[in-house]
Amino acid sequence: MHELSIAQSLVEIACDQAEQAGAKRVTRVSVLVGLLSGVVPDSLSFCFPIVCQGTAAEGAELAIQVDPAKGTCPKCGVSVELNDFVLICPSCGAFPIEVRSGRDLKVTALEVEE
């Protein structure tokens, strides 16, 4: 379960940024998880409070926004939303579709208490 190490990294980022800002506590961490990132949002949500224990992020909320995957067919140029790792163009059958978005995993916002 690599979500545990990802949750640890999110907590480290949040606590480091809070410390740099002079904040005492992290209350919310917002993240964008790409559909094709390989991260399971439910697993990340499960791990997050565990790794927050004993840190400035203890009790913080984890807000996850799932970023849909989008791609473009290099043959016919159609833009498609991808629901999984099947990268076949639904219009012309070309393979693979060029993925434009949906692979990211990033912190988008932090809320802290001063």
Q: Percent of the chain scored above 90 by pLDDT?
A: 90
Q: Which domain holds residue 45?
A: 3-68+102-113
On average, the pLDDT of the chain sits at 94
- CATH assignment at residue 38: 3.30.2320.50
Q: Is residue 84 part of a domain?
A: no
Q: Is residue 109 part of a domain?
A: yes
Report how many domains make up the chain.
1
Q: Is residue 92 part of a domain?
A: no
Q: Is residue 12 part of a domain?
A: yes
Report the candidate in 31, 35, 6, 30 with the shortest Cα–Cα distance to residue 100: 35
Q: Is residue 19 part of a domain?
A: yes
Q: Is residue 97 part of a domain?
A: no
Q: Is residue 17 part of a domain?
A: yes
37 pLDDT band, cuts 50/70/90, is: very high
pLDDT at residue 1 tops 80: no
pTM of the model: 0.86
For Cα atoms 101, 107, 113, give the angle at the middle one, nearest 5 degrees.
Answer: 155
For Cα atoms 41, 110, 54, give the angle at the middle one, nearest 5 degrees.
Answer: 80
Give the residue-averaged pLDDT of 43-72.
96
Q: Is residue 33 part of a domain?
A: yes
Report the pLDDT value the prediction gives residue 94, as an integer from 0 to 100.
92
Give the residue-averaged pLDDT of 3-7.
96
